[in-house]
Amino acid sequence: MDLPGVSPYAFHIGPLGIRWYGLMMVVSMALGLAYFVRQGKRHGYDEDFLYNLALLTIVGGVVGARFIYVVTNPGFFLQFPAEIIRIDHGGLSIHGALLGGFLAFWGYCRAKGVAFWPLLDWSVPGIGVGIVLVRIANIFNREILGHPAEILGGMRQPAQLYGSAIGLVVLLVYVLQSRRPTAPGERFWTFFLVYTFLRGVVEETVRDNPLYLIHWVNPYWGLGAMTLTQWVTLPLLLFGWMMLRHVKKLDASRKERESQS
């Protein structure tokens, strides 16, 4: 979806322009932080620890997201190096955010001697809300554009809306899982699998991204393959499946030890 008349700014405070992208990022972080801290306090975790963990994770996620986006788009940033720090202009990789956030999360929990799998599950709603809102903000930034589709009269596929809908699916799956007991870490890795699959199969297929090795385009439906993200989808799905099995085995072993004690 490409709407030439939209402004990237939500509003102005004097000379300062507040962009939709930055606003949606802040809102999603605030909502995710509130949910994470609330759940942590309900389960007896120290409030200061929860805030420190969440804030470090957010910083790690933003740094990782920008880093991966920059290294996968070297041509643009070599030409415009000052844009590297302009995250308000968009350009954050969800895979980089997950990697950077995960490493920060794991590192802080390890330093404090706290098991991080149960805590990690509570990060999923914030990520899901972020996917929903930031993809909407991408419309105002006129980025994450879809392929032109003849069936739509030459208009671009609304890739941002597909991406936002994937965030809603992530949240729905989390809510459904919350209704039954799950192994610590199971909800996070289920999210990882669901998002990775839908991103690679649905969103990337309609996005007008560079194609690598295989160049398949269907101009009538506005579809294409294979993007860089699609190439890494299968390895990521395999990794996520292995991690999901791992946390389930850990939980089964814990329950067995408890039953024998």
The tens digit of pLDDT for each residue in 42-74 reads 999 999 999 999 999 999 998 998 888 888 888
Omega before residue 226 within 30° of 0, cis: yes
Q: Map out the domains of the chain as residue ranges.
A: 17-250
Mean pLDDT rounded to a whole number for the chain? 92
The angle, 0 to 180 degrees and rounded to 10, between the axes of the packed helices 186-198 and 228-260 is 160
**Percentage of the chain exceeding pLDDT 90:** 74
Q: What sign does the dihedral 8-77-15-28 (CA atoms) show? A: positive
The helix or strand, by DSSP H or E, that contains position 226, with its residue range, turns out to be strand 223-227
Residue that wins the pLDDT comparison between 116 and 162: 162
pLDDT in tens, 131-155: 999 999 999 998 899 999 999 999 9
Residue 11: phi, psi to the nearest 5?
Answer: -165, 175
Residue of higher predicted confidence among 202 and 74? 202
Q: Cβ neighbours of residue 222 under 8 Å, at least 6 residues apart?
A: 146, 147, 148, 149, 150, 151, 152, 156, 157, 206
Structure tokens at 112: 């404090």
